[in-house]
Amino acid sequence: MVNLSLPYIHLDTNVAFLRIKQWVFRRYDSSISTIWIVAFFTHVATSIFAVIAGFTQFFKAFLYKRTHRLMGKLYVFSVLLFTATSGLIMSFFANGGWTSVMAFTLLSVLWWFSTYKAFRCVINKQYDQHGKWMIRSYALTLSAITLRLWKYAYANYIDPDMEFLHPMDLYRVVAWVGWVPNLLFAEFLIKKKIHLRMLKK
């Protein structure tokens, strides 16, 4: 993820993924395209913090220590104020038409909501529910990775000649499979009461 973010460090609007987003600048006036590009760079800059901070929340050794609370605050702050909200703005301009727009919009809304619920539960000392919502939230955070893994696996191993799916069709598919299986797996973990096992000292 760090490596994928490096091309944008100089705020160049014509590198990597942004090369296929030039239509946003051509189709919309400067104010709308400016909002989109600010959202994009915000999303890139803060996503890595969400991935790392969220990862620390599932180490049992940190659970009852200050590290858990500090990294938890960083995670919530990043997702609620920056990462999920900027992702929502970007989702309205997703490549692939309405199917991709719907997938990324739903992802952003569920991501924000599950993180907010996790935050509210811990404030109210509902630690059981907090664990459930954090699992859901982080499963959606990891869509940043799983989306790219699905795309890489398909393009390099399943259909390297792209005979079955056109690249844009593949994008429409991974827009959904990048996060829906994650959420289903999260529900499986919750059913297995993984969050309760973590709470045991």
Interval 90-101 mean pLDDT = 93
Residue 197 has pLDDT above 90, yes or no: no
Mean pLDDT of the chain: 88
Report d(CA 100, CA 21) in Å as an integer. 14
Rounded to the nearest 10°, the torsion over CA 111, 113, 115, 121 is: -160
pLDDT of 77 reads 95
> How does pLDDT run across 128-152, given as a tens digit for each residue?
899 999 999 999 999 999 998 998 8
Report d(CA 169, CA 164) in Å as an integer. 9
Q: Is pLDDT larger for residue 12 or for residue 33?
A: 33
> How does pLDDT run across 25-75, given as a tens digit for each residue?
888 888 888 999 999 999 988 998 899 999 988 877 777 788 889 999 999
Q: How open is the CA angle 138-143-144, to the nearest 5 degrees?
A: 105
Report d(CA 149, CA 98) in Å as an integer. 23
3-class SS of residue 193: coil
Instruction: Report the 10 Å Cβ neighbour count for 111.
Output: 27
Where are the domains positioned within the chain? 2-199
Residue 14 has pLDDT above 80, yes or no: no
Q: CB–CB of 129/162 below 8 Å? A: no
pLDDT band at 98 (very low <50, low <70, confident <90, very high): very high
Tell me the whole-structure pTM to 2 decimals: 0.89
pLDDT of 67 reads 86
pLDDT of 24 reads 83
